[in-house]
Amino acid sequence: MANQVTFKGNAVNLVGPKLKAGDTAPDFECLTGLEVKTLASTPSKARMFSVVPSLDTGVCSAQTKKFDESIGALKDQVACYTVSLDLPFAQGRFCTAENVANMQNLSDVRNHSFGKNWGTLLEGLPLPLLTRAVFVVDKNNKITYAEYVPEVTNHPNYDAALAALKAAV
């Protein structure tokens, strides 16, 4: 059976593997602005990948702002990313408008490699979207925390994700 979540109460399959703590973080090829980013190009320290369907929605916006505010004291010890299929320009506009300074953007719009490799690409929707998920990866590229939010329109477990990030430092 395929990995599934619900989107507004309807079951939706996820493309790719369901990652868990202990797995090696898969590579990806995303964009930050027009620059290509891969797992190897992220710093070798604790990293959090906050995956959202679109920054233009209320829950996604709240998730990004919550993590941005919460990691302030850790910002020199961690690298935190918001991953979405939004265009890099839209991601940048959002961060400027909302004063998001601690989260970096990764746009998976080009080839959906993050979504496919990390098991977050929603299958069969009218337009491609990523599911809501949070991953913490340690300096050795091991996943120490993985949460696929069961209902895409709900919030992740902020406390658990932040505790995992602090523990990975």
Q: Is residue 4 part of a domain?
A: no
Report the distance separating Cα 136 and Cα 150, nearest Å: 18
**Which tens digits make up the pLDDT trace of 16-75?**
999 999 999 999 999 999 999 999 999 999 999 999 999 999 999 999 999 999 998 898
Q: Is residue 1 part of a domain?
A: no
Beta bridge pairs of residue 46? 78
- Report the number of distinct structural domains present in the chain: 1
Position 75 scores a pLDDT of 87
Position 163 scores a pLDDT of 97
Task: Note if the pTM is more than 0.85.
Answer: yes
Q: Is residue 107 part of a domain?
A: yes
Q: Is residue 89 part of a domain?
A: yes
Q: Which domain holds residue 137?
A: 12-168
With contact defined as beta carbons under 8 Å apart, do 5 and 149 qualify?
A: yes
**Which tens digits make up the pLDDT trace of 66-77?**
999 999 889 899
Q: Name the catalytic one among 30, 60, 80, 95.
A: 60
Position 131 scores a pLDDT of 98
The CATH number for 105's domain is 3.40.30.10
Q: Is residue 116 part of a domain?
A: yes
Q: Is residue 5 part of a domain?
A: no
Q: What is the DSSP letter of 154?
A: S
Q: Other CB atoms closer than 10 Å to residue 28's CB: what's the count?
A: 22
* Active-site annotation holds for 30: no
